[in-house]
């Protein structure tokens, strides 16, 4: 149903409009609200915020139609106004259009022409609302999806290509907040979420500073991906910065935050994983390199950054590392040699 406000001081206009549009009113396509001047029109709009169209005369007491038009253009930009007036000279039409009128109908009113104008106006109102909705949804989407993912989607010409993937060389870091489950058992959910978001915000800033992508939040853990030149160095730099910042944070609710970090580098599959039928996809990286990074994080202790022997060979000239010895990682058949990055 479209709600239409009619602003006109002619006493018999309400009866005439209800008569001419009785079928539309009866079928609940139109609902009319009436005002005798601009002031009353603004009051009625405040009482009926779902008004979408205003039909306004120009010559009215207290507040004329052109003044009303100016007020509507600034205060209610989504409302479309059609001027309905006997003052149909070019000067009035130009003034009305310059103040934001959508269209102009002259009196005496041809109601067939008025209905066509109203239908055209309704289409414009719907399009404007759809556009606003899309903008709001896009802004909300940006809060949940990394900008790099949105850019990736924008380069895909057809929806079917969204399930394509590619093999890349990159580094992955899993950054877990140690013993956070214990605080979850003691504190209320709102306190837990506030604390977790506080820690995540600190961690994400360091990831972004090194050109990393936050792939996902997994409970109290972040999975971050680093691509491009020196991706392993940047992943370790981000991890060191996160460790330093988190270690310096004060105790909160008798919880002293620490992180355990696993970093691995190598070949992985990058693309959209999920169900095309459900239309739910997750833009991520998968492969043994990623699985190993998660296992390295599980092997790390509080305030430790753990890397594999292969990663150590790549960065031993840039970072000080300490050998941790041979360790059996979950679901790995053979022991692997691990190193801790010190600085």
What is the distance, to the nearest Å, from the Cα of residue 105 to the centroid of all Cα atoms in its chain?
41
When comparing pLDDT for 172 and 95, which is higher? 172
Distance CA 262, CA 168 (A): 19
What's the distance, CA 146 to chain centroid? Answer: 10
In the block, residue with structure tokens 């106004």: 81
- Percentage, residues of the chain above pLDDT 70: 90
136: helix, strand or coil: helix
Q: What is the pLDDT of residues 16-45, one digit of tens each?
A: 989 889 999 999 999 999 999 999 999 999
What domains can be seen in the chain, in order of their start residue?
A: 2-144 (3.40.50.2300), 147-341 (3.30.70.1230)
The C-alpha atoms of residue 307 and residue 321 are separated, in whole angstroms, by 9
Q: Mean pLDDT, the chain, as a whole number?
A: 86
Q: For 39-62, what is the HEC assignment?
A: HHHHHHHHHCCCEEEEEECCCCCC
Q: Answer yes or no: are the C-beta atoms of 35 and 41 closer than 8 Å.
A: yes
Phi, psi of 336 (to 5 degrees): -125, 150
Q: Indicate the pTM of the whole model.
A: 0.60
Supply the pLDDT for residue 91.
83
Greatest alpha-carbon span in the chain: 94
pLDDT tens, residue by residue, 265-286: 999 998 877 776 777 777 788 9
How far apart (Å, rounded) are the C-alpha atoms in residues 121 and 51?
13
pLDDT at 252 over 90: no
What are the tokens at 320? 């000080």
Which of 146, 252, 294 has its CA nearest to residue 207? 146
At 288 the pLDDT is 92
């Amino acid at each position: 149903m479209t709600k239409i406000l009619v602003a006109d001081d002619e006493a018999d206009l309400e009866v005439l409009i209800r008569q001419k549009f009785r079928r539309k009113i009866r079928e609940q396509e139109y609902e009319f609200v009436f005002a005798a001047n601009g002031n009353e029109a603004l009051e009625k709009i405040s009482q009926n915020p779902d008004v979408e169209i205003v039909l306004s005369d120009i010559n009215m007491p207290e507040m004329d139609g052109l003044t009303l038009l100016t007020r509507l253009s600034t205060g209610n930009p989504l409302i479309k106004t059609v001027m309905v007036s006997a003052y149909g000279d070019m000067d009035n039409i130009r003034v009305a259009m310059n103040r934001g009128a959508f269209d102009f109908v002259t009196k005496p009113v041809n109601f067939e022409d008025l209905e066509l104008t109203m239908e055209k106006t309704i289409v414009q109102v719907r399009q404007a609302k759809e556009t606003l909705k899309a903008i709001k949804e896009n802004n909300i989407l940006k809060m949940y999806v990394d900008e790099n993912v949105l850019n990736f989607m924008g380069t895909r010409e057809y929806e079917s290509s969204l399930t394509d993937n590619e093999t890349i060389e990159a580094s992955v870091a899993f950054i877990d907040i140690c013993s956070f489950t214990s605080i979850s058992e003691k504190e209320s959910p709102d306190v837990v979420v506030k604390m977790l978001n506080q820690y995540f915000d600190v961690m994400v800033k360091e990831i972004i500073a090194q050109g990393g992508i936050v792939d996902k939040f997994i409970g109290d853990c972040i999975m971050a991906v680093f691509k491009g030149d020196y991706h392993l160095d940047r992943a370790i730099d981000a991890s060191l910065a996160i460790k330093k910042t988190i270690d310096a944070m004060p105790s909160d609710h008798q919880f002293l935050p620490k992180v355990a970090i696993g970093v691995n580098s190598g070949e992985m599959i990058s693309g959209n994983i999920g169900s095309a039928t459900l239309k739910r996809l997750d833009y991520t990286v998968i492969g043994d390199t990623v699985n190993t990074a998660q296992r390295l994080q599980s092997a790390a202790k509080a305030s430790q950054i753990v890397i594999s022997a292969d990663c150590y060979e790549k960065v031993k000239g840039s970072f000080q590392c300490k050998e941790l010895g041979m360790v059996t990682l979950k679901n790995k058949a053979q022991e692997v040699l691990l190193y801790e990055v010190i600085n």
